[in-house]
Chain A
Amino acid sequence: MNRKLIDSIIEKIIFLCGIIAIVFVVLIFGFLLKEGFYFFKDYGVFKFVLGQYWYPSSSPAVFGVFALIIGSLLVTLGAALIAVPLGIMTALFISELAPKGVRDVLKSIVELMAAIPSIVLGFVGMVTLVPFIRTAFNIPTGLTAFSGSIVLAFMAMPTIVSISEDAIRSVPWSYKEGAYALGATKWQTIRRVVLKAAMPGIIAAVMLGIGRVIGETMAVLMVTGNASAIPTSIFDPVRTLTATIATEMGETVRGGLHYRALFAIGLVLFSITFIINFIADLFLNKNSKKG
């Protein structure tokens, strides 16, 4: 009797722990929706999303996030273009080509990279990367979307490497043996067999990496220059959605229009990451069905 009681209590506690994550996500989303909804009612969705001017402290205040959305997407795209090929190559090298000693060292270094706090990356970027980019590309300032992309690529790399390495390693040996038996070279095997079989996992890794990049704040804030003009190239300064929330949340008064505008930005960010996670999930499911 007593044992059964303890059993059922512990079961309930574990259930509660499991359900808590869901409750929090729903609460956060509900809160964002509520504050964002008030803002959209007062200000208008299209004026907000397509507006090109962000002057929150003028009177009347102007809240147009189009340039900020473009800024976030540009920095993220740049980071993806750098981190994805580099990350996948690294994963391939670790799982297929590297001798055992090198593989272990490389793996632990990549894991260490994931542990570097973003503010440290941002600071190092600001002091070393920014002046370098200005002189190397001969542009007016080194505080550009490109600098942000490089710093963020460093942050996305560990995620992409470790998850796609898992995917590559879970390709069954029999596939490779089959390819070799047919006379394929190592490169042919990797390209036509291993990469193909691991593709869903690799795409999920890329999506998770990008999800991390688009939500990153401090490192970007320090190196992208935060100018809210619509960028014409990757060598222009940009302002991201996250940086805007981070720098302006301190000045807003609870319940004011500016406060709610920042929540509306949060809603935009949430939607973007939601879409990315959704796509990643789609590929992950496809992967598990195959395996």
Chain B
Amino acid sequence: MHKIKFYIVLITFFVIFVSCSGTKRENMSDTMQIKGSDTIVNLVQVWAEKFSQNNENLNIGVTGGGTGTGFAALLNNTCNIAMASRQAEDDEIDLAKKQNKIYKEFVVGLDGLAVLVNKNNPVNNLTIEQLRDIFMAKITNWKEVGGEDRPIVLLSRESNSGTHMFFKEHVIRLNDEKSKDEFSLKALLMPSSQAIVDEISQNPNAIGYVGIGFMESQTKTLLISAKGTTEFFKPTIENVMLGKYPISRPLYLYTNGEPTGIVKKFIDYTLSPEGQKVVVETDFVPITTNNK
């Protein structure tokens, strides 16, 4: 009797297994993996949800890990689309060429980096040069920039984060490609943007940067001036779109070669007016038509 039961269970499992793998094979082209930048992972997740509402058999997996992770995954064939908050670097492109792959780049939105401090910090604005000196530990006390007599604690993201690279290129190196300047070794490398917000909200000494999608009411956002000027701007969507706020950047999706099939449909969707509406809803900045 027990043996018969055992066989029935076994056969049922076998049938389920076969039927599952059968359906999987049919819909192979309808699963899509998207990996990369933590900055836009929320945005792409909303895109993926809305897009798969119209495509019932479609399975989209969206995971973060950092821009570098996305590029590596694209090369290792573990994802179809890489999310990036910076452009692919020369050595990444070279490595792709060695494997006969070509990155195809799409600008899908804009992002600004907000510089955050604790609510009790009296400092309201910084020039981008002051910001640079702070993160290179040339300025180490808040009183040097008009604040209280407190040491400055630097909060940065991990080096695999697109945000880290962007800040380094646009603030630390002030867009000078020949510059070899680096973050101070004293900068704390935090594992996530949320960890930066958490530390700033309870530490009056801290300063850090996050994507404007991450701005929170528990912290204070500083106004920043562009290089060589003293007119300060808040990282609002308008200021980023008009190019007034200096620490802003494009956001990218990358595919391996010209996209086809469902991948192409997805990218077309993100660039459509409907897709760009999602960009605004998730606190990023849409691309204007003349940007394209």
Chain A neighbourhood of B195, CB < 8 A: 126, 222
Kindly identify, within residues 53 to 91 of chain B, every residue whose CB is under 8 Å from any CB belonging to chain A. Answer: 65-69, 71-72, 75-76, 89, 91
Q: Does A291 lie at the interface of the complex (its beta carbon under 8 Å from any beta carbon of B)?
A: no
Bound complex: CA of A252 vs CA of B95, how far in Å? Answer: 12
B153 near A140 with CB under 8 A, answer: yes
Interface residues on B, range: 35 or more
Interface: B175 (CB within 8 A): no
Whether B52 is near chain A, meaning CB under 8 Å from some CB there, is no
* In contact, B185 and A140 (Cβ under 8 angstroms): no
Residues from chain B with a CB closer than 8 A to the CB of A141 are 153, 188, 199, 203, 205-206
CB-CB contacts below 8 Å: B141-200 with A: 150-153, 158-160, 164-165, 180, 182, 184-191, 195, 198-199
Max chain B Cβ within 10 angstroms of own Cβ: one of A59, A127, A134:
A134
Contact: A253 with B165, CB < 8 Å?
no
Residue B202 at the A interface, CB < 8 A?
yes
* B69 and A221 within 8 A (CB): no
- The CA of A127 and the CA of B201, in the complex, are separated in Å by 12
Decide if A162 is an interface residue (CB 8 Å cutoff).
Answer: no
A248/B206 in contact, CB under 8 A? no
Are B165 and A57 closer than 8 Å at their CB atoms?
yes
Q: How far is the CB of A107 from chain B (nearest CB, A)?
A: 35
- Judge whether A134 and B160 touch: CB under 8 Å: no
Does A131 interact with chain B (Cβ within 8 Å)?
Answer: yes
Task: Find the A residue at minimum CB distance from B151.
Answer: A140
Docked Cα-Cα span, A210 to B69, in Å, equals 32
- Measured between C-beta atoms, what is the minimum distance from A243 to chain B in Å? 9
Query: Are B205 and A251 in contact, CB atoms less than 8 angstroms apart?
Result: no
Check A248 against B160 for contact (C-beta < 8 Å): yes
Residue of B nearest to A56 (CB): B159
Q: How far, in whole Å, are A126 and B202 apart by their CA atoms in the complex?
A: 11
Distance in angstroms between the alpha carbons of A239 and B67 in the assembled complex: 22
Contacts of A221 in B (CB 8 A): 191
Category for how many chain A residues contact B: 20 to 34
Is the CB–CB distance between A256 and B95 below 8 Å? yes
User: Is the C-beta of A288 less than 8 angstroms from some C-beta in chain B?
Assistant: no
Judge whether B185 and A250 touch: CB under 8 Å: no
B199 touches A57 (CB 8 A): no
Name the residue in A59, A140, A143 with the highest tally of chain B Cβ atoms < 10 Å from its Cβ: A140
Q: Is the CB of A229 within 8 A of B185?
A: yes
Q: Are A250 and B160 in contact (CB under 8 A)?
A: yes
Q: Is there an interface contact between B205 and A140, defined as CB atoms closer than 8 Å?
A: yes
Chain A CB within 10 A, most for which of B69, B150, B158: B158
Q: Is the CB of B185 within 8 A of A251?
A: no
Q: Which residues of B contact A174 (CB under 8 A)?
A: none
**Residue of B with least CB distance to A252:** B72
A142 on the B face (CB < 8 A)? yes
A253 and B95 in contact, given A141-B199, A227-B187 (Cβ under 8 angstroms): yes
Least distance between A230 CB and chain B CB atoms (Å): 8
Given A141-B199, A227-B187, A256-B95: A57 and B160 within 8 A (CB)?
A: yes
The complex places the Cα of A59 from the Cα of B68 at a distance, in Å, of: 14
Q: Roughly how many angstroms separate A131 CA and B68 CA in the complex, as a whole number?
A: 32
Residues of A within 8 A of B71 (CB): 253
- Within 8 Å by CB of A239, from B95, B164, B189, lies B189
17 contacts between A and B (CB under 8 A): A57-B159, A58-B180, A140-B150, A140-B151, A141-B153, A221-B191, A226-B158, A227-B185, A229-B185, A229-B186, A239-B189, A247-B160, A248-B158, A251-B66, A253-B71, A253-B75, A256-B95
B residues within 8 Å of A by Cβ?
A: 65-69, 71-72, 75-76, 89, 91-92, 95, 150-153, 158-160, 164-165, 180, 182, 184-191, 195, 198-199, 202-203, 205-206
- Top 3 nearest A-B pairs (CB, nearest first) are A251-B68, A251-B160, A229-B185
Further 19 A-B residue pairs, CB within 8 A, beyond A140-B151, A251-B67 = A53-B185, A55-B182, A57-B160, A57-B164, A143-B199, A225-B188, A226-B188, A229-B185, A229-B186, A248-B159, A250-B69, A251-B65, A251-B66, A251-B68, A251-B72, A253-B71, A253-B72, A253-B75, A253-B95
